[in-house]
Amino acid sequence: MDFKSFKDTIQAAKRIVIISHVNPDGDTLGSMSALYQVILNNFDHTKDSVDMVYNGIIPEIYKFIPFLDEAKKPEQVKDELYDLAIAVDIAAKDRMGDSLPLYERTETKMNIDHHKTNNNYGTVNFVRGDACSCGEVLFDIFKALDLNIDKKTAWGLYAALLTDTGGFRYDNTDADTLLKSAELIKLGAEPAKIARFCYESKPRNMVLLHAHCMINADFTDNNRIAGVCISNKDMEKFHASNDYTEGLVEELRRIGTTEVSYVAKEVDENTTKVSLRSKTIDVSKVAQVFNGGGHTFAAGCTIRKPLKIAKDKILEEIRKALG
């Protein structure tokens, strides 16, 4: 990987915007925060020349990540001109949501990611499918270039590694993940505090929504497939914001008999968002049938169909893949 071009590209840019993906998670937010700090701490840039942009809402549990209070919404920067846009943890361009026009109109487009389905859509690409998280890709770049990682940067990177490995439990966890996490702890990341923010700070209604979904879940194909449909009515009932469904698809996979889990969520009457998790088959291939993508055991897509029809379609593809 040509790390020097990372340094040169940032040095050459006058104004930089860092873009995180829609429905932001711990990896995209932790990566955005860490990159922001590294640029400010290691280059000539000031806060006036670097912006962070997020889509939708920042989940309550991730608000502890440093400097996210300085991040802006796409509409707040729609008249701004940048010469470098950096996408972090964004598998495909449509995952930029309302930030996509901003990315498209910026001359130099950097793409830092770890999704194996990423097609190198940037003009400068740092994509490593073997990394556990975008945070790990950034950590490696920072180390290779001897850039200073301070305490708050370490917090952002650690949050990225922790959450994208499901608390160091998923198959993307290896010795490197743990060695790098240990180094981040030495640099000032506090594991117990960060874990408490990420895993023990859920809003009560989020847990109640999950309980409602678990009770109404569908178990089919000898319980090998577990899934649930969430309508906007369900969301209203629990005063749920969009991020409240996070973690649900993993809870369904946690059941011993589950091989594949899915959550089909109504966006509007003709659009359904689907999250997929697996212990066995490659669900990124299932997601790709509907122009989505992701990782082997964690993927997602959006289907332009009403909730119940989308559910049938995804179930059909999962069954085909299970054989």
Residues that bind Mn ion (CB under 5 A): 27, 89, 133-134, 164
* Tokens read off for 116: 């194996």
Nearer to Mn ion, 27 or 246 (CB): 27
Strands, DSSP E only, in 223-279?
Answer: 225-230, 260-268, 271-278
Alpha carbon distance 234, 203 (integer Å):
16
Nearer to Mn ion, 74 or 135 (CB): 135
Write down the least CB distance from residue 194 to Mn ion, Å: 16
Nearer to Mn ion, 91 or 263 (CB): 91
Contact (Cβ atoms closer than 8 angstroms) between residue 214 and residue 251: yes
Which residue has the CB atom at the shortest distance from Mn ion? 27
Which of 120, 165, 160, 162 lies closest to 137 in space, CA to CA?
160
Write down the least CB distance from residue 215 to Mn ion, Å: 30
Alpha carbon distance 13, 176 (integer Å):
32
Q: How many whole angstroms from its chain centre is CA 314?
A: 22
β-strand pairing of 218-220 with 225-230: antiparallel
Which of 284, 282, 262, 290 lies closest to 323 in space, CA to CA?
282
Write down the least CB distance from residue 15 to Mn ion, Å: 26
Write down the least CB distance from residue 35 to Mn ion, Å: 14
Q: How many whole angstroms from its chain centre is CA 116?
A: 14
Nearer to Mn ion, 232 or 296 (CB): 296
Write down the least CB distance from residue 221 to Mn ion, Å: 29
Nearer to Mn ion, 164 or 259 (CB): 164
Number of H helices, E strands in the chain: 12, 11
Nearer to Mn ion, 133 or 302 (CB): 133
Write down the least CB distance from residue 114 to Mn ion, Å: 6
